[in-house]
Amino acid sequence: MTNHWGHTNDIFDQGYKAVRKSVLLFGIFFTALGVLIFMFPKLIAYIFAFFILTTGIVGLLIGYKIWKLQNQTRPFDWENEPLKTQVNGETPESYPRTITFIMR
Question: What are the pLDDT digits (tens) for 22-50?
Answer: 999 999 999 998 998 899 889 889 999 99
* 15 confidence band (pLDDT: 50, 70, 90): confident
Query: Percent helix, strand and coil across the chain, each rounded to 5?
Result: 55, 0, 45
* pLDDT 10s digits, 46-73: 999 999 999 999 999 999 998 888 766 6
CB 91 within 8 A of CB 83: yes
The pLDDT, as a whole number, for residue 5 is: 65
CA–CA separation, 86 and 89 (whole Å): 5
- In this prediction the pTM is 0.44
